[in-house]
């Protein structure tokens, strides 16, 4: 049985973005949401590692460096299961377009680099549904590093893969860790039909390609606009900052 | 004798190779079978003989207990999320308590093990393959003691010792008209699932309808078998 291949039969559409830190995927999904809403679609946004249930635990585990590759992976899967149940399936069943910033592929890339077995983490997420469209923002490692290292004051311990002991220098560790994640993503393009987007292009050029792909997926989809759609605050915060 | 650790599935591929110098003994059984009493008695007995013992229990990890308490009190989670929370808790205890203790030659007594998750999930109609893969990182115990009980013995015991609670009665499953019916149906279903696992994983079945001393003696016999000669 192929792993992680469950199509959903809900009337909505699930569109997700993937890519390493600094690939610009969050900017792109924010622009996509803006456009879809302007077109009269009802959109729901959800983000990796954001459920309240495990937020405190993950925060504390990270702060005290208590996490092992397995507990790291399982905590993120728990977060995902909770969001799938509350934030992804209901809007899909209601016929909305769900936009997800990162999906299970993030786990397949990161957790495998941390050392868990690739088959194990794939079957772990076997309860998830396959997105209707998955974008992969492809960026050379140096470009991503430049973006992250100049835009942010501090790289976090786990973000840099410091738990793996790749290098005592956090910047160097970040670079090695993200390169390894990049390799995993490259392998997944074919495995999961990810749509690669050249993330070195100008922002608006990328967005044009993204919107064209989305249009194809939305052929035959009936837009439904709810009278009152509450937009998650987190989206607007991210959007105005970037 | 030190040996290489054996896992149910893929194990923990990122760990450096190590030898297991201890023994992992797990006790399974539904609520009210007297598991914790027996764990205390067994620990005492082993220590008197000179074995160093470490105890670990279901949902007792430092990392996860807050999230689990929050989840239980909120009553707002689906089965999958619950199972994953418990799996995270177990992984944390495995890596931070169980493995270090075994490496240094302790006997680890686990009050409940992954089989608890298996039976609870089976009753909730989960995919058995999925959960077996999930717990593929778990270490195979040297001994699984299963305290088997029937409903006639269990029900008065539970009522006498403080009553039935929401989760012990499987109220999330709506298996009965009221707490009592639900408890009976849920616990019977759990016992049925344990029966299946007992064959699949060669549990040592112990009749938990007997008195505390009888159960204790039976457990000691089984433990002696895996320890070899007693240390004097």
pLDDT at A237 over 60: no
A226: confidence class by pLDDT, cuts 50, 70, 90: low
Q: What is the pLDDT at residue B74?
A: 66
pLDDT at B90 over 80: yes
Q: How much of chain A, in percent, has pLDDT values that exceed 70? A: 90
Using CB atoms, pick whichever of A56, A61, A81 lies closest to residue B84. Answer: A81
Mutation target among B84, B125, B135 for the A interface, most CBs of A within 10 A: B84
**Distance set, CA B37 to CA A122, B142, B216 (Å):** 40, 21, 9
**Contacts with B18 (C-beta within 8 Å, 6 or more apart), sequence order:** B5, B99, B103
Count of beta carbons in the 10 Å neighbourhood of residue A215: 10
Q: What is the largest CA-CA distance in chain B?
A: 56
Task: With CA atoms as reference, report the closest residue to A48 among A114, A106, A129, A112.
Answer: A106
CA B201 to CA B224: how far, in whole Å?
A: 20
pLDDT at A240 over 50: no
* B165 or A101, which is more confident: A101
Mutation target among A2, A51, A52, A54 for the B interface, most CBs of B within 10 A: A54
CA B216 to CA B189: how far, in whole Å?
A: 26
pLDDT one-digit tens code per residue, A113-137: 999 999 999 999 999 999 999 999 9
Q: What is the pLDDT at residue A152?
A: 64
Residues of chain B found within 8 Å of residue A56, distances taken between Cβ atoms: 66-67
Domain ranges, ordered by start, for chain B: 23-149+203-221
Q: What is the pLDDT at residue A154?
A: 78
User: What's the average model confidence in pLDDT over A152-156?
Assistant: 75
User: What's the average model confidence in pLDDT over B101-113?
Assistant: 97
What are chain A's domains? 13-241 (3.40.50.300)
- Which CATH superfamily does the domain covering B23-149+203-221 fall into? P-loop containing nucleotide triphosphate hydrolases (3.40.50.300)
Q: Where are the alpha helices (DSSP H) in chain B?
A: 35-48, 65-74, 79-93, 99-103, 114-123, 128-134, 151-160, 179-200, 212-227
Q: What is the largest CA-CA distance in chain A?
A: 54
- Give the containing element (helix H, strand E) for A111: helix A104-114
pLDDT one-digit tens code per residue, A2-20: 567 788 999 999 999 999 9
Answer for the pair B168, B45: CB distance below 8 angstroms, yes or no: no
Q: How much of chain B, in percent, has pLDDT values that exceed 70? A: 96
Instruction: Report the complex ipTM.
Output: 0.86
Q: Which residue in this structure is represented by tokens 């007995």?
A: B45
pLDDT one-digit tens code per residue, A191-203: 999 999 999 999 9
Which regions of chain A does DSSP assign to beta strands (E)?
Answer: 13-18, 43-47, 97-101, 133-138, 195-198
- Taking a contact as any Cβ pair under 8 Å apart, which residues of chain A between 34 and 63 contact chain B? 53-54, 56-57, 60-61
3-state DSSP of B57-106: ECCCCCCCHHHHHHHHHHCCCCHHHHHHHHHHHHHHHHHHHHHHHHHCCC
Answer for the pair B206, B215: CB distance below 8 angstroms, yes or no: yes
Q: What is the pLDDT at residue B75?
A: 56
């Amino acid at each position: 049985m192929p792993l992680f291949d469950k199509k959903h039969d809900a009337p909505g559409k699930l569109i997700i973005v993937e890519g390493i830190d600094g690939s610009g995927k969050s900017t792109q999904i924010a622009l996509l949401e803006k456009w879809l809403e302007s077109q009269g679609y009802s959109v729901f946004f959800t983000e990796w590692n954001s459920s309240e249930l495990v937020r405190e635990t993950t925060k504390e585990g990270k702060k005290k460096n208590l996490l092992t590759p397995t507990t790291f992976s399982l905590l993120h899967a728990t977060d995902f299961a909770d969001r799938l149940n509350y934030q992804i399936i209901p809007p899909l069943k209601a016929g909305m377009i769900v936009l997800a910033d990162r999906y299970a592929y993030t786990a397949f890339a990161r957790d495998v680099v941390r050392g868990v077995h690739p088959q194990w983490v794939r079957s772990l997420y076997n309860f998830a549904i396959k997105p209707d469209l998955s974008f992969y923002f492809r960026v050379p490692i140096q470009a991503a590093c430049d973006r992250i290292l100049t835009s942010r004051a501090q790289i976090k311990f786990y973000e840099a893969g410091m738990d793996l002991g790749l290098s005592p220098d956090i910047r160097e560790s970040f670079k090695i860790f993200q390169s390894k994640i990049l390799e995993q993503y490259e392998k997944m393009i074919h495995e999961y039909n990810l749509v690669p987007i050249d993330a070195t292009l100008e922002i608006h050029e990328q967005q044009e390609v993204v919107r064209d792909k989305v249009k194809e997926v939305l052929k035959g989809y009936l837009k439904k606009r709810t009278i009152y759609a509450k937009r998650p605050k987190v989206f607007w915060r991210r959007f105005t900052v970037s | 004798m030190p040996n290489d650790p054996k896992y149910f599935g893929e194990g923990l591929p990122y760990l450096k190779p190590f030898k297991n110098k201890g023994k992992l003994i797990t006790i399974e059984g539904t609520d009210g079978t007297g598991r914790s009493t027996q764990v205390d008695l067994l620990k005492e007995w082993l220590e008197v003989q000179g074995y160093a013992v470490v105890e670990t229990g279901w949902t007792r990890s430092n990392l996860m207990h807050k999230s689990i308490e929050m989840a239980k009190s909120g009553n707002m989670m689906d089965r999958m999320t619950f199972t994953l929370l418990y799996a995270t808790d177990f992984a944390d205890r495995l890596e931070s308590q169980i493995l270090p203790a075994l490496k240094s030659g302790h006997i680890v007594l686990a009050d409940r093990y992954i089989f608890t998750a298996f039976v609870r999930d089976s009753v909730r109609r989960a995919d058995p393959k999925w959960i077996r893969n999930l717990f593929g990182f778990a270490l195979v115990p040297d001994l699984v003691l299963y305290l088997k009980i029937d409903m006639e013995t269990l029900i008065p015991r539970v009522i006498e010792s403080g009553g039935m609670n929401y989760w012990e009665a499987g109220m999330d499953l709506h298996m009965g008209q009221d707490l009592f019916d639900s408890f009976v149906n849920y616990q019977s279903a759990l016992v049925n699932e344990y029966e299946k696992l007992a064959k699949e994983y060669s549990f040592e079945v112990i009749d938990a309808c007997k008195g505390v001393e009888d159960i204790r003696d039976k457990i000691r016999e089984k433990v002696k078998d895996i320890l070899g000669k007693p240390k004097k």
